[in-house]
Structure 1
């Protein structure tokens, strides 16, 4: 009871802070932060201040405690459930999942198979519930959120196996789900973005069926190389460099095996034949550069890509729907890209279009 009351008080405090006039929010957040030619948005900077005040962090000693802490964080900034959406649990060939159906979509709707983030260690159907609701309503798609097995109880490649299974099950059971099997996209954030890209490549290797589209938010694509963005933003911007090491050590503790293309999809020699993609990165994110490198490599292989850097945001922004405005704006852009991509279908174009 005490914990619930504290969380409720913190959530009310966060809403009150974001409701302040902009000058007062700026005083609370502090001086603008500018790094690498980018200025952190006031919404994101205030989020980091409130995170510090509340004592929230992405990693807390053990996986169990980290999972609990993430669920608390969701209640602070996730927002009220977005409606109208019908939600029901399904069994995707042994993999638990949750199907979101927004009001007004027909029985031949497109589907997004969504893989939640959390470093393959934390995160759940609940942690990304409102994100899935938002995408369902704003992209006019059904969403199948996949509860893949987590490390360290189930290390690599268990998450990959579950993710592939869920996608194949969705396509095979299109009639029962009321979806168009030719318009099944994959998507996810961070570790979930990694899994979505890996599923796409595994389907290329298997000869199909292929996802119709990839919706990738700040995906982890290479566990072997430390890039410049990790040095610039590896501390103080929600996801830290130490967090990344912690997650990878639980998911694949053998560093020599991180070259596996099911772990580091950026290392795949030939990405031709991959589905069209929207690759979103956050400017103040240690994962920024590897996500953008993956978008560039897709484009070089002839895959249609939109590369969208949300230069003023931080890792995790698709989950911060209950506070401010900037986070919803960024997710709205992605929902539009998903809807357009599914309507247009695969279109051959080798260039990267950078969203402004």
Structure 2
């Protein structure tokens, strides 16, 4: 069994304990509505406010059959090189525009790019492929109305959706110019390295992943559908330049490693970093943990560089 007392430092343990005080591990056994209420409260408690000069406007993408809520973040003088389309985490059942509000505002402030956060439909009310369809529709909307190139970004479940959109839009005239995936869930095997070594990791366990998968799919996941599992694709060519950041103490970390290896084998540009001693959802702890603060700065740099069509790795 992994000895987390040696891998995880005191700052990160303080973040884990604070998280668990609002969102204890047993929350996964509660009903969906109660889980959402607890998660939303936790997110409010961690909200760090907006950096100076950032404003946000909440609206919607109005489609013939539904509206997709969005929130657009801007600085006083937006950087014109690109815009960012951000897809939030939450296991496909939790989260929305408010859960990642402060992180999106900070990413906007530090890159200077206009950022659009997408409130895609959640399971179980809307099982797969609803979240993917909303993510793709949001990208197509952004590509149609914005002349600037688009960088896709997302964490955890949102990283999955960002990658799925990248796979789906290869060859399009307005495909993304880059993607930044933060501890993404990409459909790796449960027997993979990190799934075994960190099956009982703080913040996210293998059991949690099975629960989220079953809720998203109704209990019958089709393993060969790329919109569900980007790693199920048989062709990794033509993807946009990709930066992946994972946490060492997270069962999902090897998903990022495998995704990197497959893009490299297909001749693409990709960089992957596994952050030592960090845990899933560490971005929420970026103001508590020095390692997380440094990693978030690296995420900002990746988004900035890809938006300028630069490859710094």
Q: Same fold (TM over 0.5)?
A: yes
1:199 equivalent among 159, 165, 173: 165
Partner of 1:122: helix, strand, or coil? coil
Measure, in 2, the Cα distance between the counterparts of 1:253 and 1:324: 37
Partner of 1:79: helix, strand, or coil? coil
Measure, in 1, the Cα distance between the counterparts of 2:34 and 2:184: 24
1:13-65, CA deviations, whole angstroms, 9 ceiling, x for partnerless residues?
A: xxxxxxxxxxxxxxxxxx9723xxxx323321222233445563463512211
Preserved contact between residue 190 and residue 220 of structure 1 (Cα < 8 Å): yes
Residue equivalent to 1:110: 82
- Structure 1 residues 331-350: aligned runs within 5 Å: 331-345=296-310
Residue equivalent to 2:191: 226
Residue equivalent to 1:187: 153
Preserved contact between residue 68 and residue 119 of structure 2 (Cα < 8 Å): yes
Deviation at 1:322, TM superposition (A): 4.1
1:159 equivalent among 121, 128, 131: 131
Measure, in 2, the Cα distance between the counterparts of 1:145 and 1:242: 28
Partner of 1:201: helix, strand, or coil? helix
Q: Does the alignment pair 1:69 with 2:38?
A: yes
2:274 equivalent among 293, 297, 309: 309
Aligned residues: CA RMSD: 2.1
1:83 equivalent among 52, 67, 75: 52
Unaligned runs of 5+ in 1: 1-30, 175-179
1:94-125, CA deviations, whole angstroms, 9 ceiling, x for partnerless residues?
A: 3111100023225x351110000011111111
Partner of 1:344: helix, strand, or coil? coil
Structure-2-length-normalised TM-score? 0.91
Preserved contact between residue 193 and residue 220 of structure 1 (Cα < 8 Å): yes
1:217-259, CA deviations, whole angstroms, 9 ceiling, x for partnerless residues?
A: 0111116543221222222410111111111111013435132
Preserved contact between residue 224 and residue 259 of structure 1 (Cα < 8 Å): no
1:284-326, CA deviations, whole angstroms, 9 ceiling, x for partnerless residues?
A: 0010011211122112111111111112210001122443433
Unaligned runs of 5+ in 2: none
Between 234-243 and 287-296, report the one with greater CA deviation.
234-243
Measure, in 2, the Cα distance between the counterparts of 1:97 and 1:72: 21
1:179-233, CA deviations, whole angstroms, 9 ceiling, x for partnerless residues?
A: x43x2111100110000000011101x6342101101001111165432212222
Measure, in 1, the Cα distance between the counterparts of 2:233 and 2:278: 28
